[in-house]
Copies of this chain bind each other. A is one copy, B any other.
Amino acid sequence: MIIIMSPNATKTQVEDVEKKLVGLGFQTHPIFGEIKTVIGAIGDKRLLNTHDISFMPGVENIVPIMKPYKLAGKELKKDPTIVKVGNVEIGGKEIVIMAGPCAIENEETYIGTAIKVKESGAKILRGGAFKPRTSPYAFQGLEEDGLKIMAKAKEATGLALVTEVVDTRDVDLVATYADIIQIGARNMQNFKLLHEVGLTKKPILLKRGLAATIEEWLMAAEYIMAAGNQNIILCERGIRTYETATRNTIDMGAIPVVKEFSHLPIIVDPSHATGSWKYVNALSKGAIATGADGLIIEVHSDPNNALCDGPQSLKPSKFDQLVSELKPVAQSVGRTL
Contact = CB atoms under 8 A, between A and B. Distances in A.
Nearest to A210: B211
Contact of A306 (B55, B168, B241, B291): B55
A242 B245 contact: no
Pick the most buried of A32, A242, A253, A311: most chain B CB atoms within 10 A of its CB: A253
Interface in A243-268: 243-246, 249-257, 259-260
Interface residues of A, number: 107
Interface in A7-61: 7, 29, 31-36, 38, 40, 42, 46, 49-56
A133 interface: yes
A204 B75 CA distance: 43
Contacts of A140: 191
B191 A242 contact: no
Given A33-B65, A306-B52, A249 B251 contact: yes
Contacts of A311: 52, 54-55
Interface string A178-206: 00000000110111100100000000000
A331 interface: yes
Interface stretch (A111-119, A121-129, A144-152, A282-290): A282-290
Interface in A209-252: 209-211, 213-216, 219, 222-223, 226-227, 238-246, 249-252
A40 B256 CA distance: 29
Nearest to A49: B138
A305 interface: yes
Contact of A260 (B195, B249, B253, B278): B278
A307 interface: yes
A31 B63 CA distance: 14
Counting chain B CB atoms within 10 Å of each CB, the highest count among A40, A191, A246, A277 belongs to A191
A21 to B, nearest CB: 13
A219 B134 contact: yes
Interface string A155-169: 000000000001111
Contacts of A92: none
Nearest to A285: B289
Interface centre among A285, A289, A306 (most CB of B within 10 A): A289
A310 B310 CA distance: 39
Given A75-B7, A213-B245, A226 B136 contact: yes
29 contacts: A2-B63, A36-B66, A38-B65, A49-B137, A50-B139, A55-B310, A68-B134, A135-B222, A137-B226, A166-B191, A169-B169, A211-B240, A214-B243, A215-B245, A239-B242, A240-B240, A241-B241, A241-B251, A249-B249, A250-B253, A252-B283, A252-B286, A255-B286, A256-B283, A257-B279, A285-B332, A289-B289, A328-B331, A332-B332
